[in-house]
Amino acid sequence: MKNLIIIINIFLLLTACNNKQTSEEQINRATQENIASLTDAQYKNAGIEIGKIEIQNVFSVLKLNGKIDVPPQNIVSVSVPLGGYLKSTKLLPGMHISKGEVIAVMEDPQYIQLQQDYLTAKTQFIYNESEYLRQKELNESKAVSDKVFELAKTTYQTQNILIKSLEQKLKLISLNPNTVTANTITKSINIYSPINGFVSAVNVNIGKYVTPSDVLFELVNPNDIHLALTVFDKDLNNLAIGQKVIAFSNSNPDKKYECEIILISKNLSNDNAAQVHCHFKHYDKTLLPGMFMNATIELSGGNATVLPDDAIVRFENKNYVFNEKKSRQFEMIEIQIGNAENGFTEITSAEKLANKNIVVKGAYHLLMVLKNTDKD
């Protein structure tokens, strides 16, 4: 029985020793798997440079999205005050137009009637004016009574009011009263563009009758287009009027547009977001209302531990750096990162890199060497 106990103890001791040896071997193997050893030739070709973690002022970046908008004062709805039939137009959505350019021709019998009424009233006015002046002269010489003179004066003034009102109606349909004569009466009128810009909508077709309340075209003056960003309430306190914004589109993310915050809305939507309006510093014709945009805003930050972007390698969804353990031998260390700016990335797990010699150039070459060694 005593011999049996001794044998069992020896067996347990040997098993423990084997387990310990196995654990140490696993640790050593895992350590070796994270060590890249280079020959002199490999080291020379890798172009490796060594550095240390640095302390820099790092700004956090707020990423937003929104769309290009136009203020109401820059959108013009074109209508015809007296209505009529659309005779012709060449406008298409997106077409550029100039101020004073003819954008449509309208026709209607009422235009003829208006010109006729004006010329008839003008003829009557000339007679009434002459009669008024004649009666005034006679009244001054006591040749006619005051009653007759006052009647002539009232008739003259009433006709003058009629003339002025008809002149304004002519101007409403872009007809110059001074050029309207019996020989120039026309059934057509021109519609002119009131702004420089482009056509955003065409709502009529040739031959259609429109009323004074119908909108024929919608025109946009793009000189004051702005970027409307959606910002959640938790980020609003970090923004201020005059703050710089960099915008870019999904179709061309490399082209950046510099903007400036001009208005921060105080009205929150149902999802606790507000509109932040930004002015483009330089107008670009490729920017169209309704276009979706992305934007970044730098927010004030503080001192942080950073490394150059080239020092960090990404492998299997994790971030690593290489520490020079000794000459030609480098250890891969997993790290956690924060914000990136101007070629540097914040290291949030910097304590494990304190006083270490970090590879700041050639890190991906070391990763290739390490993983190729593992395959072998």
Domain spanning 62-72+222-301: CATH superfamily: Efflux pump adaptor protein, beta barrel domain (2.40.30.170)
How many other C-beta atoms lie within 10 A of the C-beta of residue 3? 7
CA distance 265 to 243: 15
Q: Is 199 exposed, middle or buried (0-12, 13-18, 19+ CB in 10 A)?
A: buried
CA distance 249 to 65: 10
Angle between helices 146-172 and 109-140 (to 10 degrees): 150
- CATH architecture group of domain 76-106+187-221: Beta Barrel (2.40)
Question: Which of 319, 310, 307, 314 is CA-nearest to residue 353?
Answer: 307
Q: Is 12 exposed, middle or buried (0-12, 13-18, 19+ CB in 10 A)?
A: exposed
- pLDDT by residue for the chain (376 residues), tens only, comes to 555 455 555 555 555 445 444 444 433 443 456 888 888 888 888 888 999 988 887 777 889 999 999 888 889 999 999 999 999 999 999 899 999 999 999 999 999 999 999 999 999 999 999 999 998 888 888 887 888 889 999 999 999 999 999 999 999 999 999 999 999 999 999 999 999 999 999 999 999 999 999 999 999 988 888 899 999 988 888 899 999 999 999 888 999 999 999 999 988 888 889 999 999 988 787 888 889 999 999 886 677 888 999 999 998 899 999 999 888 889 999 999 887 777 888 888 888 888 899 999 988 888 888 877 655 5
